[in-house]
Chains A and B, each alone.
Chain A
Amino acid sequence: MRDDPVAMKLIEIEVLRYRPEQDVEPVPQVYDVPFTDDMSVLQGLQYIKDYLDGTLSFRWSCRMAICGSCGMMIDGVPRLSCKTFLRDFHPRRLRVEALAHFPIERDLVVVIDDFIGKLERIQPYIVPKTPRTLAEGEYLQTPAQLDVYEQFSSCINCLLCYAACPQYGLNPEFVGPGIMALLHRYNVDSRDGAASQRMEIAGSEAGAFNCTAVGYCSEVCPKHVDPANAVNQNKTLAAKDYFLRGAKPKGGKR
């Protein structure tokens, strides 16, 4: 049994603060945080809030990389703070700032209304091909049919891919990698019948062709969804749709 306290290591965490009621623009603030090797960046932020500065604002929930709430820029890279560990940065100072390419609401909290609006727009649910009754029983799907969409169903809407995507940063009208991954997930699911409606979005000026295959979205995805693959597959699919249905530049009815 240990009676003497364990000597704690200290790490400097520099957080980009932003309080609209008092800050003209974001300002960095450094905190000295004692830590143990098992502590995540999220736990570091929780220590700051609990003991050093209760005004620090940030989103978090599950603390196990499944809810998608705690995304932020850690040393300039989009990461889940619950899945990033302080020991990997010590003794250097750690920079934490709000997820890139989104407006900062406050401190590490970003405005994600744009994403939510786009999510609603792509109908992120199975739209049955034909009306189906409960009596008809469950859908049957082969492993091959599952394989075509399964990885894209792992998306936790954490928005790291949006912070990674420079095209979204340069043009926020772009639907973005996460939305395209979900759009694709439903389009290629054998149970779904709304592909042509979702194709209108994929082939629009806000769609797949904004992508220039940087590929960083897939690099940062914590769930290995590979959104770059979804976006780029849809360039081919949208091009097929464009050439085979005839060109209607004004977005006419199909």
Chain B
Amino acid sequence: MKAIEKRSNAPIFWALFGAGGMLAALLGPALVFLTGIALPLELIFPPDALSWPHALAFARHWAGKAFLFAVIALFLWHAAHRIFHSLHDLGAHAGIGAKLVCYGFAAAGSLLAAGALLSLGF
């Protein structure tokens, strides 16, 4: 069957790409600033902000779990989709192998994140 006759399954990955891209555009810079610059350098925020009890409490709360999972998973799915297409742009064959590597990586990361969040309990 020719490509024009087959319904594409791209919408699934495109929707995840879109959600991740929007989240990264809206909150990415602030998150990077917060977790990677402000908190480690103790700028603005108190020095014990990321201490074990605080971090644990955040990751145990349902909202904290939802937020962490959303950011990690959606960022990974966004990147997987874009990197897959960039590989194609660079001349790589955009076949099942490349798809498995890219989307598989995002799936693995999402599973790991879910597993870690669940193991921390409520």
- A residues lining the B interface (CB < 8 Å): 118, 121, 166, 170, 173, 175, 200-201, 203-207, 209, 212, 235, 238-239, 242-243, 247-252
B11 close to A251 (CB less than 8 A): no
Given contacts A173-B3, A204-B4, 20 further A-B contacts (CB under 8 A): A170-B89, A173-B4, A201-B4, A204-B8, A205-B4, A205-B7, A206-B2, A209-B8, A209-B11, A212-B89, A238-B8, A239-B11, A242-B7, A242-B11, A243-B11, A247-B7, A249-B7, A250-B7, A251-B5, A252-B7
Interface string of B1-37 (1 = CB under 8 A from A): 1111111111110110000000000000000000000
Smallest CB gap from B91: residue in A: A170
State how many angstroms separate the Cβ of A55 from the closest Cβ of chain B: 35
A251 close to B88 (CB less than 8 A): no
| A239 to B9 Cα, complex, angstroms | 9
| A208 to B7 Cα, complex, angstroms | 11
B8 close to A205 (CB less than 8 A): yes
B85 CB-CB contact with A under 8 Å: yes
B6 close to A205 (CB less than 8 A): yes
Which A residues lie within 8 Å of B10 (CB)? 205, 209
Partner of A206, one of B3, B14, B89: B3
Which B residues lie within 8 Å of A249 (CB)? 6-7, 9
Which B residues lie within 8 Å of A200 (CB)? 7
Given the contacts A166-B89, A170-B88, A207 and B8 also touching, CB distance less than 8 Å: yes
Which A residues lie within 8 Å of B85 (CB)? 212
Partner of A235, one of B1, B4, B5, B14: B14
Which A residues lie within 8 Å of B14 (CB)? 209, 235, 239
